[in-house]
Amino acid sequence: MPSSSPHPSTPTAVTVTRGSSPVVLGMPHTGTWLPADILEKLNQTGKMLTDTDWHIDQLYSGLLPEVTIVKANFHRYAIDANRDPGGVSLYPGQNTTSLCPLTDFDNQPIYLAGQEPDADEIERRRTLFHSPYHEALATELERVRQLHGTAILYDCHSIRSHIPFLFDGKLPDFSIGTNHGETCHALIEQVVKDICQKAEGFTTVLNGRFKGGWTTRHYGQPKTGIHAIQMELTQTTHLAREQLPFDYDKAKADLLRPHLREILDQLTQLVLSGSLRS
């Protein structure tokens, strides 16, 4: 269970739960911890932490035995672990947020005036948070690849269903990202898409507004035996409401979790059957 406190006290940037499954769950945005020196620079909008991937760790808990989980405990307002560490935009020409966000998803400033991070501070945060997360993720993917010959990174995300600054209208419930098939074997993309499209009461898009973040694009190198796929869920699928306090809705989640379990089970079987080696 995630802490009910918006700012849990923890000195650890990353938590790794190590298992023997061929699937690795990445969770770069479910953390809500900010060190005091960053938290005190945020304005009231920033301190609400609205852009958290709320309760994603709880949603996926127990769905796949022996799964490895790499979870960032720090909040994305410290630094976004799913952005290029060099600050290169993943979506040129489209509204988005930066490596160290200065605004929230509604384009509202999150810092007190004059307290925004400069280049030195961004580099400090990259060293303290971004690098340890990706060092842990790279280590676990390689360990799993050594165990099975193949590893699948399933990158777990969620987002509010309506954010006019980022996209028009309502986002589909399942947004699958593979950077147009470049980050994984075609069977992985097909299996995930088929399960989502058959899920009654849910909507699906493949490589729509979200085509896979830096994590998916960086690690998804099928020729090396490491595949990656991003799943962006709308928060209406598992939250009571998409505003504070962003409470987890067990009844909603119980309708969603069987589909997520089927996805993870089928991805596991693709690896164990050797289907991805062709």
> pLDDT at position 86, please?
85
| pLDDT of 245 over the 70 cut | yes
Question: Taking residues 138-159, what's their average pLDDT?
Answer: 98
Is the pTM for the entire model greater than 0.85?
Answer: yes
- Give residue-wise pLDDT tens across range 57-78: 999 999 999 999 999 999 999 9
How far apart CA 108 and CA 125 sit, in angstroms, is 22
Question: Taking residues 200-205, what's their average pLDDT?
Answer: 97
CB atoms within 10 A of CB 66: 12
Nearest to 75 by CA among 44, 59, 45, 52: 52
CA-CA-CA-CA torsion for 178, 151, 88, 128, nearest 10 degrees? 140
Quick one: residue 93, left, alpha or beta (phi over 0 = left, psi -120 to 50 = alpha)? Answer: left
Please check whether residue 268 is in contact with residue 64, taking contact to mean a CB–CB distance below 8 angstroms. Answer: yes
| pLDDT of 97 over the 80 cut | no
